[in-house]
Structure 1
């Protein structure tokens, strides 16, 4: 049995990076899934547009969430999330989803 998995980026486009932060955009059309990814840094997520988003967490995730977590998108809402999550984001809504994700490197 092959237990190796391929991890992708934490979002769809790297916007900016310096020694302290890495800023990403995440854009998902309705029904679209992100790459499976691991959050190696604490981060701030800011929702911009969309209506529903789901995080599907791997059994060995080390973050604060587990299983499948679905929520309503609240444009402008900012959330601090601790490192360790291994997940796939899924746009379970009917509108395009867009967020800004800011990884804190120190």
Structure 2
């Protein structure tokens, strides 16, 4: 994993677009989001989130076709979209696909 996604597919002066995949049971590397962003779940799965110390912050169910918008605020990401609205997670975290199928999303960071 490079940065906040698996593969950077586009970048200009306004956005960075990432492809992101996570196989069942696979963890992301610990990473830090430095920008607000949105994502579209191409293949949804439940994602278990962990903070920097490895504490389990819970499982976030991401349905296929869902669109999420997150705002970076003082070291936390706040969900602005209807699904998950108001949830907050540390900007530095890792995730694990706890589902039975591969997870895939397209993530767009705002510059």
Matched, 1:80 2:81: no
Return structure 1 stretches of 4+ with deviation > 2 angstroms: none
Displacement of 1:89:
1.6
Give the conservation status (yes or no) of the 8 Å contact 1:12–1:34: no
Give the conservation status (yes or no) of the 8 Å contact 1:33–1:91: yes
Q: How does 1:3-22 map to 2 (within 5 A)?
A: 9-22=3-16
Matched, 1:40 2:46: no
**Distance (Å, rounded) in 1 between the aligned partners of 2:45 and 2:56:** 20
Displacement of 1:94:
0.8
Listed as ranges, the gaps of 5+ residues in structure 2 are 76-90
When the two chains are superposed, the root-mean-square deviation of aligned CA atoms in Å is 1.7
Matched, 1:99 2:105: yes
Counterpart pick for 2:22 among 15, 20, 28: 28
Which structure has greater strand proportion?
A: 2
The number of equivalent residue pairs is 92
TM-score by length of 2: 0.75
Give the conservation status (yes or no) of the 8 Å contact 1:58–1:67: no
Listed as ranges, the gaps of 5+ residues in structure 1 are 1-7, 60-65
